[in-house]
């Protein structure tokens, strides 16, 4: 007898990724991917069409009956209403994905947020497994956090975890309209942008800044040190307010490995006094965290 399975689909900035998973969250085969529709008129409808066509492709490769599908999207997401409230990158506002997907898919649909789904997958299947309350902190183009407390995600209507837009005191403007945001100094894109501004030298990304720092470049060292210090401030707030046992660092910047985690952990331990010092661990599921989390959501909420 073939095992029942669900599909997990993650709508990203450039691609839509999908996987099939069994009831324990284990993958059945590899990931399937198509391009994300370009922003413009009817973007929500065109995105739902793309998800439906990707599901058809997946179904052709499924070895057992598909029970449900989980779909996660970026931006501000209201899971309870199944609405994509706002995505600057993908260009939608108040997109009724629950309705649009129900019209197109003949399966129960669970709808959620990409980073929170990634946090769920890391907490249950990845780096946070068996490690208690956790915060998943992807650091890439932006910085956000997914809170997993008392064994479940804590979304707060979509508003929880926006640690990238808290003021860590440097005064630089941020894309959100505020100044001093963590994201504006410590995201992978901010590190590259700030290095270029300071040194006059164009770089391909934060990894190049890290390589320049290792080669003795003083500007790279300064920009990297400022980013680490700002991240320590954000982590100290998390430790004070939520006291997570584990912080799972993901996103592009986590590729720096111990060059990032070691100074973060050391400076955080120095900064805290009586607070519980969280264990910092690298994310384990890479860019599949979102679709694996979407599959878990499908099991949790529809089966
Ligand atoms: Zn901001």
User: What tens digit of pLDDT does each residue of 24-47 get?
Assistant: 999 998 889 999 999 999 999 999
What domains sit in the chain, N to C, each tagged with a CATH number? 5-120 (3.30.420.40), 131-284 (3.30.420.40)
pLDDT recorded at residue 30: 84
pLDDT recorded at residue 15: 92
pLDDT recorded at residue 11: 96
Given a cut of 60, whether residue 264 has pLDDT beyond it is yes
**Ligand 1 midpoint to CA 234 (Å):** 13
pLDDT recorded at residue 3: 79
Which of 238, 225, 215 has its CA nearest to residue 195?
225
User: What tens digit of pLDDT does each residue of 207-227 get?
Assistant: 999 999 999 999 999 999 999
**Ligand 1 midpoint to CA 169 (Å):** 12
Contacts of 3 by beta carbon, 8 Å cutoff, 6+ apart: 22, 23, 28, 64
CA distance 29 to 22: 11
Going by pLDDT thresholds of 50, 70 and 90, the confidence category of residue 1 is low
**Ligand 1 midpoint to CA 184 (Å):** 7
Q: Tell me, what DSSP letter sits at residue 143?
A: B
* Structure tokens, 243: 């006291």
**Ligand 1 midpoint to CA 17 (Å):** 28
**Ligand 1 midpoint to CA 162 (Å):** 9
User: What tens digit of pLDDT does each residue of 93-123 get?
Assistant: 999 999 999 999 999 999 999 999 999 999 9
Going by pLDDT thresholds of 50, 70 and 90, the confidence category of residue 57 is very high
Backbone angles phi, psi at 298, to 5 degrees: -60, -45
pLDDT recorded at residue 64: 87
pLDDT recorded at residue 14: 87
**Ligand 1 midpoint to CA 251 (Å):** 18
**Ligand 1 midpoint to CA 137 (Å):** 16
pLDDT recorded at residue 126: 97
271-284: average pLDDT: 97
**Ligand 1 midpoint to CA 139 (Å):** 14
pTM of structure: 0.93
181-204: average pLDDT: 96
156-173: average pLDDT: 92
pLDDT recorded at residue 49: 98
Going by pLDDT thresholds of 50, 70 and 90, the confidence category of residue 13 is confident
**Ligand 1 midpoint to CA 119 (Å):** 21
Given a cut of 80, whether residue 54 has pLDDT beyond it is yes
Which of 79, 101, 76 has its CA nearest to residue 90?
76
């Amino acid at each position: 007898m073939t095992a029942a399975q669900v599909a997990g689909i993650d709508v990203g900035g450039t691609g839509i990724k999908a996987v099939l998973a069994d009831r324990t969250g284990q993958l059945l085969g590899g990931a399937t991917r198509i391009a994300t529709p370009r922003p413009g008129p009817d973007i929500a409808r065109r995105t739902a069409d793309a998800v439906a066509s990707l599901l058809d492709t997946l179904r052709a490769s499924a070895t057992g009956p598909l029970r449900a599908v989980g779909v996660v999207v970026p931006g501000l997401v209201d899971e309870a209403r199944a609405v994509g409230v706002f995505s600057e990158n993908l260009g939608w506002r108040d997109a009724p994905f629950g309705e649009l997907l129900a019209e197109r898919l003949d399966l129960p649909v669970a709808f959620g947020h990409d980073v929170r789904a990634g946090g769920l997958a890391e907490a249950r299947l990845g780096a946070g497994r068996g490690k208690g309350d956790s915060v998943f902190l992807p650091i890439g183009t932006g910085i956000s956090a997914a809170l997993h407390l008392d064994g479940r995600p804590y979304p707060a209507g979509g508003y929880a975890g926006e640690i990238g837009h808290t003021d860590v005191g440097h005064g630089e403007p941020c894309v959100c309209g505020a100044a001093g945001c963590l994201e504006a100094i410590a995201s992978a894109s901010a590190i590259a942008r700030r290095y270029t501004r300071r040194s006059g030298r164009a770089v391909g990304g934060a990894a190049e800044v890290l390589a320049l720092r290792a080669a003795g470049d003083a500007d790279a060292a300064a920009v990297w040190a400022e980013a680490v210090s700002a991240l320590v401030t954000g982590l100290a707030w998390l430790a004070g307010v939520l006291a997570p046992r584990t912080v799972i660092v993901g996103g592009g910047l986590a590729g720096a490995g111990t060059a990032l985690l070691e100074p973060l952990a050391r400076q955080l331990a120095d900064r805290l006094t009586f607070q519980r010092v969280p264990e910092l661990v690298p994310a384990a599921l890479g860019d599949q965290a979102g679709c694996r989390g979407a599959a878990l959501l499908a099991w949790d909420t529809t089966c």
